[in-house]
Amino acid sequence: ENILDVIDLHYSYPDGTHALKGVNMEIKKGQTTAILGGNGAGKSTLFLNLNGILRPTSGRINFDRKPVDYSREGLNKLRQAIGIVFQDPDSQLFSASVYQDVSFGAMNMKLPEEEVRKRVDTAMKRTGIYHLKDKPTHNLSFGQKKRVAIAGILVMEPQVLVLDEPTAGLDPMGVSELMKLLQETQDELGLTIIISTHDIDIVPLYCDRVYVMDEGKIIMEGTPKQVFSEK
């Protein structure tokens, strides 16, 4: 069952840069999809369209088989349902402590205090940062900050977790630990995961489906086996 359908999506930035040129994708519920492509291929632009931060110039995105609702209320729901973890954790973290950073999204949802606390504890334990909860985020290592950013998205209980280059800047141990953590979270929550990556090695290990982008277009798609045997 598809959780996201991207249909002939075009996006041009205000300066005229045509960043997405007719992208079609089907994202299946509970799967991990990798988006490969060099710098400037359009991966980040695609992600920003997926959760409504950018609005398609033409074409369409269906979430749960319904066209995205671009009203304020619709967008609030969409941004909670499709959480994005950006490449640079510092862009997402700005509170005094890890606990506060992780709780931010849940607080914004105006959930009862008890529910916030429960979700924050669960997300911190899942991502292995519970012992850091009272530490100032800015003192943590890069890998730890990544986990704080992921926990901060998980507290919103998204259906889709989108990660922009999640393994960039991590050593090989860090990469496999992070990917395993994501896989466990997915298994437990039935989460759909979309990652962009340069790290081809992780794709056959952790991904069900691959799209390769170049200059705003999908140039290859399939299972990792299909895509890598075409090369």
Q: By CB under 6 A, tell whether 197 contacts ligand ADP.
A: no
Site for ligand ADP in 14-53 (CB under 6 A): 15, 17, 19, 37, 39-45
Give least dist CB 96 to ligand ADP, A: 20
Backbone angles phi, psi at 122, to 5 degrees: -60, -45
How many amino acids of this chain bind ligand ADP (CB under 6 A)? 21
Chain residue at closest Cβ approach to ligand ADP: 143
Q: By CB under 6 A, tell whether 146 contacts ligand ADP.
A: yes
Q: By CB under 6 A, tell whether 149 contacts ligand ADP.
A: no
For ligand ADP, the binding residue among 78, 82, 148, 170 (CB under 6 A) is 170
- Triad 124, 158, 224: Cα angle to 5°: 95
For ligand ADP, the binding residue among 13, 134, 138, 201 (CB under 6 A) is 13
Q: Which of the ranges 53-61, 101-109, 137-145, 200-208 carries the binding residues for ligand ADP, by CB under 6 A?
A: 137-145
The answer to whether residues 140 and 132 touch, using CB atoms and an 8 Å cutoff, is yes
Q: Which of the ranges 1-9, 50-58, 106-114, 142-150 carries the binding residues for ligand ADP, by CB under 6 A?
A: 142-150
Taking the mean position of all CA atoms in its chain, how far away is CA 54? 15
Of 19, 71, 32, 21, the closest CA to residue 211 belongs to 32
Within 10 angstroms of residue 21's Cβ, the number of other Cβ atoms is 16
18-28 and 32-36 beta bridge pairing: unpaired
Q: What is the C-alpha separation between 220 and 231, in angstroms, rounded?
A: 10
Helix (H) or strand (E) holding 81: helix 72-81
Nearer residue to ligand ADP within complex by CB, 40 or 222: 40
Backbone angles phi, psi at 84, to 5 degrees: -110, 130
Of 3, 4, 22, 24, the closest CA to residue 12 belongs to 22
Q: By CB under 6 A, tell whether 174 contacts ligand ADP.
A: yes
Give least dist CB 34 to ligand ADP, A: 13
Taking the mean position of all CA atoms in its chain, how far away is CA 104? 17
Give least dist CB 153 to ligand ADP, A: 14
Give least dist CB 142 to ligand ADP, A: 6
Which residues sit at the interface with ligand ADP, rule CB under 6 A?
Answer: 13, 15, 17, 19, 37, 39-45, 141, 143-144, 146-147, 170, 174, 177-178
